[in-house]
Structure 1
Amino acid sequence: MAPKFGTSGLRGLVIELTESLVADYTRAFLAACNCNVTLYVGRDLRPSSPDIADAVMSVARAEGVAVVDCGALPTPALALASMQTNAGAVMVTGSHIPADRNGLKFYVPGGEITKVDEQAIIAHLGRPVADETGTLKTAPDVIDTYERRYTDAFGADALHGLRVGVYQHSAVGRDVIVRVVQALGAQPVTLGRSDVFIPVDTEALDLDTRDLLAGWCKDYGLDAIISTDGDSDRPMLADHTGAIVVGDVLGVLTARYLGADVICTPVSSNSMVLQMVDFKQIKLTRIGSPFVIAAMEDVLALDPAAKVAGYEANGGFLLGFTAQMQHAPLAPLMTRNSLLPMIAPLVAAGRNGCAVADLVADLPRVFTAAGRLQGIAPQVSEPFLDRLTTDPMVRTAFFDVGGGETRIDTTDGLRVTFVGGDVIHLRPSGNAPEFRCYAEAGSAGKAADLVARHLVRLDDILR
């Protein structure tokens, strides 16, 4: 399958991300998007990332752009640095997908690229090669600035007394997380560090990983375990039993702790947020951070003082207002982030004298689950999804929920609500050859069972 380009960037097999292809997209990005002649470049820990980053920097310098080599660092740390200096950025990462794949994420000075930027980049492909010499320097303070953003705001005693496991695997932010947790007063326990890249999808953890987390919690007496995906923009938090607190629940807990009153989140997120009195307005979007950001910008255009926050089902959190914290204000950062939705629920639990599991138990009793089939090309999944969307008889034959449908939502893929409130949501991934299945039910077990049963059916059809 050829590399795919969209608002999540360019992604594909490493063998297909040739130097000429990387160069073509880099030149197109620099021509289409005003980066103010400065480009920050970062990368994750995949074996292929250093060479791809070198190719990006070489092309940018040939275009006369001043390049800042940030090395290996979390995507939100790179975005923060470029946005603070009004520059563009390119992150070399394949996020959560396997190491045989990689990609590029593009940032304009204002943040993530939009759909408009995406089309402009495509229109500029095929530009002639330039032969200038832009400057090259490193930025050793980028990670320090990112860490201080949270340690200054929360303070040295925010996590006092907690034993927090850090599942390091091959996440690029694995050492950053340890330092931040320690600076906030917790005792970090490092776990599972790997020199081989491990593709951890925080939205769809496999059973072996879940069992591993539960064992670590028991063996080390942990209050929680935290981790991220490969480029450290999606969070993972397990409570003291090792049970995963899913991303859209982390989003709710974080937004409530920060005092947000307007929430922007994809239609796939847990609908319990619609039942909560903590928030004045909920705006549901298509799936993907660019759509969440666009909704947040619409809110701020009408009311610049709005306390708006966004989050995704994968846990990535976007802050659209200055949150007044205990020790220092936390400035807006409207790009997907992982540190904040891991720290804030732990701090909130501590200040309430309870465990994170207790905070979760007090939320409306709506539960979600998610799973995916890998290696499913869009040209295979999309015709099936079209038939399912347009033909009620096909839906009746496919869905195994136990009640008739009450609502159809096609905001992003197909989301069907059934008698009794159960939900099944199907969609092809926008940035990988995957087909995703989400479920919502009145218990965690039932939501997981709905996903498992429908993944089996999808596998039979789509393979």
Structure 2
Amino acid sequence: MFGVPRLADFVKAYDVRGTVPDQLSPAVAQALGASFAEVVAVPDGSAGIVIGHDMRPSSPELSAAFAAGVTSRGVDVTMIGLCSTDGLYYASGALDLPGAMFTASHNPAQYNGIKLCRSAARPVGQDSGLAEIRDLAQWMLDGGSGLAQPVGGPGTVTTRDLLGDYAAFLRGLVDLSGSRPLKVVVDAGNGMGGHTVPAVLGTGAGLPALPLEVVPLYFELDGTFPNHEANPLDPANLVDLQAAVRAHGADIGLAFDGDADRCFVVDADGDPVSPSAVTGLVAVREIARARAAGDTDVAIVHNVISSAAVREVVLEAEATPVRTRVGHSFIKAEMARAGAVFGGEHSAHYYFRDFWFADTGMLAALHVLSALGEQERPLAELCAAYERYVASGEINSTVTDQAAVVEQVRAWAQVRGAATDELDGLTVTSPDGQSPTWWFNVRASNTEPLLRLNVEAADRETMQDVRDELLALIRSDATAPAGDHNGSTTGSSTSSTTSSTTQDAGDAS
């Protein structure tokens, strides 16, 4: 029914993300598995590959087809079944194997995808093997032949359950045993949080009970997402969590995305805590932890969209802030280069040196719970030190000639004497000595004709003035607003959705 798909249409900069079955079919998955083995496992001398999958209806079949491709190249496979993306990263790190995670994260039910990594959860992206994997798989699908048969014959497939090991490992990094009792509402969005939260925060994996009363929302694994989209970056998908936190008189609410690698936080009033504030809070804890272990030169990585408060908090803790581009491959590479103990993104991806520099929302959640439980103040009060500015959230505009509009924004900045840099898109900072202070970043999407705008300022009025002036400029030649899910403008950005349905927020936006 479907012809041979063009892999370049859905093998993106950082992962695979396409519709099933017209783009991502078992045949495509098998070709990608064989090419992953050829490009990554064989040259690296890996002992095998580990594969996990989420709860989407197509995931078991696609992951089995991928495994068949891998074993056809003489490489062994360890199947760990249902897991979160950070559960796959744990397996890759603990077993020292390359990995493949079948998930489309928060994307709608008709999508699926693959996140790939080398051993120790090292990322595989466009510039680190994914382009070669794509091209070899396309050659196979187009009828290419001639790959040498593996000397030792096909590889083997074994199964292994690592959920308990994953949960124990995370608990070993954050001690909650001394916490005051906390009531926690968790919205899993019918995603993999419904599988991992009972294991990590509860007794589902046989671990001792923590001083937590967990109120579950939508823990039933269902890749059709019957209750709401598993994308907490969109404020509309936090409404049920916010209502439940207030109704139950909970201390905190947590929301996980579809593959449970990102965690969003709301306080006891149901108000979102910005990912930048979570980054600041966890950074301070990880800095202290590293110092206690004898580290003297401690670095924290954050992306260009993170609140200015993150840099300030890190400097106040006498550590080194390292600013980098948006996207997990950039964060991970910069963390490895700087030996950073922690990294955070505005999209609620949190990265830890002690987790192979990979991202895990669950470990960030444990840190927030520990910080809340070791003192008596409510979460809003605790986080006030990290919520210092007012942010717009990410606002998307459809723009045909992105480069021309960015040049107009640059000219706008020059007239005002503002400082600029181009680490990732165009970042403009208010002139020295100007008060109230402000900054913004405008950058083009890698996958769509969009410009993404983030504005932050010392007060609401300034933020709104800068935001509105820039939107008028950007949209003067724009066809229409796109994905204008403007995040809350109280405190730092509570984040807003990107309009892309084919990439995880913060991965390739």
CA contact (8 A) 1:371 1:452 kept: no
Gaps of 5+ in 2: 1-5, 203-208, 291-297, 483-509
Partners in 2 of 1:212 and 1:434 — Cα distance?
30
Runs of 4 or more, structure 1, over 6 Å off, are 431-434, 448-457
Partners in 2 of 1:184 and 1:333 — Cα distance?
25
Give the equivalent residue in structure 2 for 1:87: 97
Give the equivalent residue in structure 2 for 1:304: none
Q: Does 1:205 align with 2:234?
A: yes
**Identity between Structure 1 and Structure 2 (%):** 22
TM-superposed CA distance for 1:353, in Å, is 2.4
Structure 2 counterparts to residues 371-410 of structure 1, below 5 A: 371=394, 373=396, 381=399, 383-392=400-409, 404=416, 406-410=418-422
Partners in 2 of 1:116 and 1:238 — Cα distance?
36
Distance 1:222 1:453, change over 3 A: farther
Give the equivalent residue in structure 1 for 2:129: 117
TM-superposed CA distance for 1:238, in Å, is 0.8
Number of residue pairs matched by the alignment:
432
Q: 2:18 aligns with which of 6, 12, 18?
A: 12
Q: Does 1:416 align with 2:422?
A: no
TM-superposed CA distance for 1:158, in Å, is 4.4
CA contact (8 A) 1:155 1:184 kept: no
Partners in 2 of 1:170 and 1:446 — Cα distance?
39
Q: 1:161 aligns with which of 181, 206, 220?
A: 181
Give the equivalent residue in structure 1 for 2:302: 265
TM-superposed CA distance for 1:428, in Å, is 4.2
SS at match of 1:87: coil
> TM-score, structure 1 length as denominator?
0.83
Q: Which amino acid aligns with 2:99?
A: A
TM-superposed CA distance for 1:4, in Å, is 3.1
Partners in 2 of 1:369 and 1:158 — Cα distance?
37
CA contact (8 A) 1:370 1:436 kept: no
TM-superposed CA distance for 1:411, in Å, is 1.8
Q: 1:286 aligns with which of 315, 325, 340?
A: 325
TM-superposed CA distance for 1:233, in Å, is 0.9
CA contact (8 A) 2:18 2:112 kept: yes
Give the equivalent residue in structure 1 for 2:501: none
CA contact (8 A) 1:372 1:437 kept: yes
> TM-score, structure 2 length as denominator?
0.76
Q: 1:365 aligns with which of 388, 409, 427?
A: 388
Partners in 2 of 1:460 and 1:211 — Cα distance?
31
SS at match of 2:269: coil
Distance 1:447 1:343, change over 3 A: farther
Distance 1:432 1:68, change over 3 A: farther
Partners in 2 of 1:392 and 1:448 — Cα distance?
17
Per-residue Cα deviation, 1:45-67 (whole angstroms, up to 9, x for no partner)? 22222222122111112122211
Give the equivalent residue in structure 1 for 2:28: 21
Give the equivalent residue in structure 2 for 1:299: 338
Distance 1:392 1:166, change over 3 A: closer
Give the equivalent residue in structure 2 for 1:251: 279
TM-superposed CA distance for 1:83, in Å, is 1.8
TM-superposed CA distance for 1:447, in Å, is 5.6
Give the equivalent residue in structure 2 for 1:73: 83
Partners in 2 of 1:45 and 1:167 — Cα distance?
16
Larger displacement relative to structure 2 (309-318 or 221-230): 309-318
TM-superposed CA distance for 1:387, in Å, is 1.0
Gaps of 5+ in 1: 301-306, 321-330, 397-402
CA contact (8 A) 2:242 2:270 kept: yes
Give the equivalent residue in structure 2 for 1:325: none
Partners in 1 of 2:52 and 2:282 — Cα distance?
27
